Structure 1
Amino acid sequence: MEIRVLQYFWTIANVGTISGAAEILHITQPTLSRQIKDLETELQTPLFTRHHNRLELTSAGIYLRSRAEEILTLTRQTEQTFIDQRNQLYSGKVTIGCVEADNTDTMAQAIESLIQDYPQVHFSITTGAGDLIKEQLEKGLIDLALMLEPIDTKRYFSLRLPRQEQWGLLVAKDSPLSEHATITPDDLIDLPLIISQRQDVHSMLNDWFDHPNLELSIVGEYNLIFNTLPFVLHHVGVTLTVVGVTRTLDQSRLTFVPLAPMLETNCVLAWRKNKVLTPIASELIKRFKKFNEESEA
């Protein structure tokens, strides 16, 4: 005897008609009638008698209504207990480290989805350079890290996000470079560059530059791009970055020019292998995985 069928029977017993119960239960009358007939067959006894377009309970039906009410009440209470325990479990704070990248939007979507289901969840976001975020992940100061490739993830569990980040130069609008459709390796010769402090990024750019006998002219380094903007506007140098970071900047004074051949990397969601995650962090990872599956579908 299924709980669902008991709910059907209990609703009919209280409403008194198949049509009224079907409307409440949002199923068709023939389906409901068949379910009750199957229940009577299973119990080998009639549960209703028909009188003037209304159904009246037999003595067996009266007994079953009483037991059904007890069973359904207990079922609801049991389900609510588990819901309450789950809500209590999915409470507290999740700490996340993020580099500057377009995929922070993916992080926002995942957290939005989590908070909609578990409003008592709070989050703490630390924004910084990849090395800082990596260090905080190593020390256990954050639960999850959103980092930009290239990065060594051998020591972590990781999930590569599908949205790629395109690299290019952030230049002043009044710079001749702003008229370029792309920036080639030849354009980079003797160009004053402001580049991330991460050595992985230095290596990536050198591989792309592909001029073995020439060295890039790096005049400065940064950990967060915001502080480089005055230097770009005063023509001290141009900043190597990803396009997603620039979308909130003043487009009337700054221009993003992509590299050619195109240079793209992915963002990676990472967490420590030797750390037990909180239920909140584990649930957030599940939602990231779901977003990935939907993006690849």
Structure 2
Amino acid sequence: MENRVLRYFLTVAREGSITRAAESLHVTQPTLSRQIKDLENELGKKLFVRSNHSIILTNEGLLLKKRAEEIIDLVDRLGDEFNAIEETISGDVYIGGGETDAMRHIAQVVKNLQLSYPNRRYHLYSGNSDDVTERLDKGLIDFGILIQPAALSKYNYINIPAKDVWGVVMRKDSMLASKTSIQPTDLLNVPLICSRQSMKKTLSTNEFADWFGEVFDNLNIVTTYNLAYNAAIMVEEGIGYAITIDKIVNTSGDSNLCFRPLEPKIESGLNLVWKKHHVLSKAADIFLKEIQMEFSKSLTDE
């Protein structure tokens, strides 16, 4: 299975048409059709369902698309790393993480490094901890930002000098907006919008279950979310109250929303992690050294 054929396959999947894909790839339609047919024969699976106007990926095609994207990403990244071996001023750094204001610490380090390495590129991938660790384990990113507690046995890590504060985002005209903090009983009879990842963690760490206490099993969770931006839209439309971390959703003076912290307070620390026994690229290694220096300085200043 050649990388060229995988690129052909991904283009067809993206375009949803052999004709448009052939035009994009600058190859003839019969040539492209034959390559896709040969790929299906090689795998022994049908990858597309063809109709008069478009083609749709089968379940096997969807699986191949996911794996092909990972393979092509790795091949492209390997090429970039080899091209940058002799050019220490350039290179790429890949970072994955969830929504957190702690990304500002990463941004500050990037800004400092830009002065010495203006041609360096940084690629950010957003996702929950499962998404990030999967990409980290496959070598698709150099570093991951994980919310504590996290399984760290496979990784080297350093603590990020910041904590995420949990609370509730609500409309400013809501009945709980007059409160300065939110207690468990306040949320018993209101519709809640919760992060899928945080609720999953609840089952293993019991952090939120302990906070809610006896009312936990009686919560009215009407919506779950993966991105706080989407949760904020649901709150604005009056769907419910979103349990999330501070400084992710716009709750400034011109916003219709406000944030109220949980009481007792729940804070989550964060780790920057990278794979053990993994050789970092020159660009990633320089980034790590700068991170370690800046984070050590921040901890000393506290």
Please say whether Structure 1 and Structure 2 have the same fold, judged by a TM-score greater than 0.5: yes
One-letter code aligned to 1:228: A
Aligned equivalent of 1:73:
none
Matched, 1:296 2:299: yes
* 1:22-61 equivalences in 2 (<5 Å): none
Aligned equivalent of 1:75:
none
The answer to whether the Cα contact below 8 Å between 2:167 and 2:262 also exists between their aligned partners in 1 is yes
The answer to whether the Cα contact below 8 Å between 1:195 and 1:221 also exists between their aligned partners in 2 is yes
Q: Which one of 204, 208, 211 corresponds to residue 205 of structure 1?
A: 208
Q: CA shift at 1:154, angstroms?
A: 2.0
Between the aligned partners of 1:230 and 1:242, the Cα distance in structure 2 is 16
Q: Which one of 234, 238, 254 corresponds to residue 235 of structure 1?
A: 238
Unaligned runs of 5+ in 2: 1-83
Between the aligned partners of 1:186 and 1:150, the Cα distance in structure 2 is 26
* 1:221-260 equivalences in 2 (<5 Å): 221-247=224-250, 251-260=254-263
Aligned equivalent of 1:284:
287
Q: What secondary structure is seen at the aligned counterpart in 2 of 1:142?
A: coil
Q: Once structures 1 and 2 are overlaid, which stretch shifts more, 212-221 or 96-105?
A: 212-221
Aligned equivalent of 1:7:
none
Sequence identity of aligned pairs in percent?
Answer: 31
The answer to whether the Cα contact below 8 Å between 1:193 and 1:218 also exists between their aligned partners in 2 is yes
Distance 1:292 1:141, change over 3 A: same
The answer to whether the Cα contact below 8 Å between 2:88 and 2:282 also exists between their aligned partners in 1 is yes
Write out per-residue CA displacement over residues 168-220 of structure 1, whole angstroms, 9 at most, x where no aligned residue: 01111111111110001111213322111111156431122122774332222
Runs of 4+ deviating beyond 3 Å: 212-215, 247-251
One-letter code aligned to 1:108: A
Q: CA shift at 1:126, angstroms?
A: 1.2
Between the aligned partners of 1:140 and 1:249, the Cα distance in structure 2 is 38
Matched, 1:180 2:183: no
The answer to whether the Cα contact below 8 Å between 2:169 and 2:243 also exists between their aligned partners in 1 is yes
Q: CA shift at 1:87, angstroms?
A: 7.7
Aligned equivalent of 2:270:
267
Q: What secondary structure is seen at the aligned counterpart in 2 of 1:108?
A: helix
Distance 1:98 1:250, change over 3 A: farther
Between the aligned partners of 2:238 and 2:150, the Cα distance in structure 1 is 30
Query: How many residue pairs get matched?
Result: 213
Between the aligned partners of 1:129 and 1:213, the Cα distance in structure 2 is 23
Write out per-residue CA displacement over residues 264-290 of structure 1, whole angstroms, 9 at most, x where no aligned residue: 111211111142111211221222222
One-letter code aligned to 2:111: E
Aligned equivalent of 2:192:
193
Q: What secondary structure is seen at the aligned counterpart in 2 of 1:245?
A: coil
The answer to whether the Cα contact below 8 Å between 2:93 and 2:284 also exists between their aligned partners in 1 is yes
* 1:136-147 equivalences in 2 (<5 Å): 136-147=135-146
Between the aligned partners of 2:240 and 2:298, the Cα distance in structure 1 is 37
Q: CA shift at 1:259, angstroms?
A: 0.3
Aligned equivalent of 1:107:
106
Write out per-residue CA displacement over residues 20-59 of structure 1, whole angstroms, 9 at most, x where no aligned residue: xxxxxxxxxxxxxxxxxxxxxxxxxxxxxxxxxxxxxxxx
Distance 1:235 1:145, change over 3 A: same
Q: Larger Rg: 1 or 2?
A: 1
One-letter code aligned to 1:221: T
Q: What secondary structure is seen at the aligned counterpart in 1 of 2:112?
A: helix
One-letter code aligned to 2:237: H
Distance 1:210 1:108, change over 3 A: same
The answer to whether the Cα contact below 8 Å between 2:135 and 2:141 also exists between their aligned partners in 1 is yes
Distance 1:159 1:213, change over 3 A: closer
Matched, 1:169 2:172: no
Unaligned runs of 5+ in 1: 1-84
Q: CA shift at 1:155, angstroms?
A: 1.7
The answer to whether the Cα contact below 8 Å between 1:150 and 1:201 also exists between their aligned partners in 2 is no
Q: What secondary structure is seen at the aligned counterpart in 1 of 2:95?
A: strand
Q: Once structures 1 and 2 are overlaid, which stretch shifts more, 195-204 or 153-162?
A: 195-204
* 1:4-19 equivalences in 2 (<5 Å): none
Between the aligned partners of 1:211 and 1:286, the Cα distance in structure 2 is 46
Aligned equivalent of 1:132:
131
